Structure 1
Amino acid sequence: MEKQSGAKKPELSELGRVRDRLTFLYLEHAKLDRQDSAIRVSDARGIVIVPAAIISVLMLGPGVDVTHRAMELMGDAGMAVVWVGERGVRQYAHGRALNHSSLLLEAQAKLFSNQRSRLAVARKMYQMRFPNDDVSGLSMQALRGKEGARVRQVYRLQSERTGVKWTRRDYNPDNFEASSPINQALTAAHQALYGLSYSVIMAMGASAGLGFVHTGHDLSFVYDFADLYKAEFSIPVAFNTVAALTEDDNISRNTRLAMRDAFVDGKLLGRMVSDLKAILGVSDDQTEISNLSLWDDRLGLQEFGVQYHEIKVGETQ
């Protein structure tokens, strides 16, 4: 038998918990290979070894060359891998993440498929942004109007605080440089937040496409989820970055680094895990380990891996 090189695939119990991992790592113009249980990143400046089990999401920008062995390790370690455009502006593809349980996915699908429960979840998400107001009786139209007024006020207050001029949100995803510095920073900050939101959703086994406010897109729930944190994280970070900007600074890089620090300082990853469970009505004591069963319309869940015998018409099991 051929001896397997490298480290063996870790058990689920050995993998770092989602809430305890680092938030994200963005790479571009580099070669990624596997070295034991770590990702070996090399470019013209040298080599860096990144332990695979400590990263929540790896954002791969242009010019990245990834070996099959590196991708195998990322999958085994439950690392969410997202292929993005230059400066992380577009998301093109993604890989499978950590959780193998369908618990949150089933809860999300059940809530999404009923108009009343979908509205209740949407109200719950808006309530998180308005902790001092009762939004339980508001329609979606009223909630959107209330949220729009809140976001406009956030932009205005951040502009006054930092001295950065603000007019309106304006950007072209096909031409990052065409927008103003503050809009460039907001785009980079929001994309980092979307990446982290996506990684938590996928790692916990929920669906990125079943949104309760946004709909019709494969990342609808990512936009729902990220909107909960923009006023606290991406918007102020973008204004802070532009306020401290010098002529030679790289806006997108500076913004990403500032977002990474804000995620860590604000312990956002742990908050996201708890918030996601609360939104979907799943308690912390419910298991995250998969238990594969067979569904039965009469008998409920049946044991998987059993050689069942044929039941003749008229017989009972």
Structure 2
Amino acid sequence: MTTAISARPAAGPRELTRVSDRLSFVYLERCTVHRDANAIIAEDADGITHIPSATIGTLLLGPGTRVTHQAMTVLGESGAAVAWVGEQGVRYYAGGRALTRSSALVEAQAARWANPRSRIAVARAMYLLRFPDEDPAAYRRQELLGREGARVKECYRREAARTGFPWRGRHYDRNDYTAGDAANQAITAAAQCMYGISHAVVAALGCSPGLGFVHAGHELSFVLDIADLYKTEIGIPVAFDVAAGGDEDVGSRTRRALRDRINEARLLDRCVRDITRLLMPDGSEQSAAAEDDVVTLQTDGNQHVPSGRNHSDGSMW
């Protein structure tokens, strides 16, 4: 059996299931992941689950998972991304290859980041995703930051009033998580969870974690940008719900509550859509980015020519 599997050639791009037809994200925990022909098997105490590898966009491996070399081989052949994460994907630890074989999305990110006008345009688009009732088209950088700060403070006050938690302001001690009250602890725990989720999605899409449009100067700037898109809608409300329930085990309760809310909101799929629309607002090359497995060479005038062949016309020698 091992010989047969190792001899099977890798699937070509035209043999792979279209990305749009895949399940996007499959989360597994506390199981052993094997390979059976071209299927992934998840085995745990309750039995065996078969998952066709070609239907997986990204496999998220949670706590207690073990994965075999042959399972990783078939995932690589089928073009699936793999990320090692915390419970229900709330922390990102490591990742394998990106989901796409094309560099179109990361090239679009780099192009929009490199131009100051398009960079602030993306920052404004991010603000509009968070606060659709306010048009940021005329805002400069400092105005965006100031308005964002005001809206977050407003969110804190609103959620405190909704849950009845006595809010005394945001206080965070990097060296002492327990120094803050229950709400501050829960907000910090929720933020860390959202960073992990965002990191997993950014890595799976093949984007650069460090090329941020709001944040800058850190290896995870773009991850922080994406995580903030859902702060006032998901992260902060969940944190205040947890805080209102008492000050015991705030961190673990926040992670569980946020895990459930993320699943209900199908946040992983939403992250994919939001990132793609931010970086490719006109949809250009989006289809090619998802489906093609093409390597080209760059020449003058940003023209691309086929690779794997000699382009000399003999005139140089």
List aligned pairs for 1:173-252, cutoff 5 A: 180-244=181-245, 250-252=252-254
Show the counterpart of 1:142. Answer: 143
CA distance in 1, matches of 2:273, 2:135: 22
Post-superposition offset of 1:16: 6.6
Asked whether the 8 Å contact 1:23–1:260 carries over to 2, the reply is no
CA distance in 2, matches of 1:277, 1:295: 24
* CA RMSD in angstroms, aligned pairs only: 3.8
Post-superposition offset of 1:106: 1.3
CA distance in 1, matches of 2:62, 2:172: 22
Q: Are the structure 2 counterparts of residues 185 and 165 from structure 1 closer, same or farther at C-alpha, using a change threshold of 3 Å?
A: same
Post-superposition offset of 1:148: 0.4
- Unaligned 5+ segments in structure 2 are none
Asked whether the 8 Å contact 2:81–2:99 carries over to 1, the reply is yes
Show the counterpart of 2:158. Answer: 157
Q: Are the structure 2 counterparts of residues 184 and 10 from structure 1 closer, same or farther at C-alpha, using a change threshold of 3 Å?
A: farther
Show the counterpart of 1:116. Answer: 117
CA distance in 1, matches of 2:24, 2:12: 20
Residue range with higher mean Cα deviation, 153-162 or 75-84? 75-84
Q: Are the structure 2 counterparts of residues 237 and 57 from structure 1 closer, same or farther at C-alpha, using a change threshold of 3 Å?
A: farther
Q: Does 1:32 align with 2:47?
A: no
Residue range with higher mean Cα deviation, 277-286 or 215-224? 277-286
Q: Does 1:130 align with 2:136?
A: no
Of 264, 284, 291, the residue aligned with 1:262 is 264
Q: Are the structure 2 counterparts of residues 66 and 271 from structure 1 closer, same or farther at C-alpha, using a change threshold of 3 Å?
A: closer
Q: Are the structure 2 counterparts of residues 205 and 87 from structure 1 closer, same or farther at C-alpha, using a change threshold of 3 Å?
A: closer
Post-superposition offset of 1:212: 0.9
CA distance in 2, matches of 1:206, 1:105: 5
Q: Deviations over 1:182-209 (max 9, x none)?
A: 3443344334433333343333332222
Residue range with higher mean Cα deviation, 147-156 or 49-58? 49-58
Q: Are the structure 2 counterparts of residues 274 and 120 from structure 1 closer, same or farther at C-alpha, using a change threshold of 3 Å?
A: same
Show the counterpart of 2:300. Answer: 297
Asked whether the 8 Å contact 1:122–1:213 carries over to 2, the reply is yes
The AA in structure 1 aligned to 2:311 is: Y
Asked whether the 8 Å contact 1:78–1:98 carries over to 2, the reply is yes
CA distance in 1, matches of 2:106, 2:21: 18
The AA in structure 2 aligned to 1:189 is: A
Q: Are the structure 2 counterparts of residues 118 and 298 from structure 1 closer, same or farther at C-alpha, using a change threshold of 3 Å?
A: closer
- Unaligned 5+ segments in structure 1 are none
Post-superposition offset of 1:112: 1.1
The AA in structure 2 aligned to 1:111 is: R
- Paired residues in the alignment total 305
Q: Deviations over 1:283-315 (max 9, x none)?
A: 3463222332111126821122234345323x9
Post-superposition offset of 1:7: 9.3
Residue range with higher mean Cα deviation, 151-160 or 279-288? 279-288
SS of the aligned residue for 1:294 comes to strand
Post-superposition offset of 1:211: 0.5
CA distance in 2, matches of 1:109, 1:255: 35
Sequence identity, in percent?
Answer: 36
Q: Deviations over 1:220-259 (max 9, x none)?
A: 1111122112211222223234445696894145224323
Asked whether the 8 Å contact 2:90–2:255 carries over to 1, the reply is no
List aligned pairs for 1:164-175, cutoff 5 A: 164-170=165-171
Show the counterpart of 2:3. Answer: 2
Q: Are the structure 2 counterparts of residues 54 and 186 from structure 1 closer, same or farther at C-alpha, using a change threshold of 3 Å?
A: farther
CA distance in 1, matches of 2:232, 2:165: 16
The structure whose residues are more often helix, as a share, is 2
SS of the aligned residue for 1:206 comes to coil
Show the counterpart of 2:271. Answer: 272
Instruction: Give TM-score, length-normalised by structure 1.
Output: 0.77
CA distance in 1, matches of 2:163, 2:13: 45
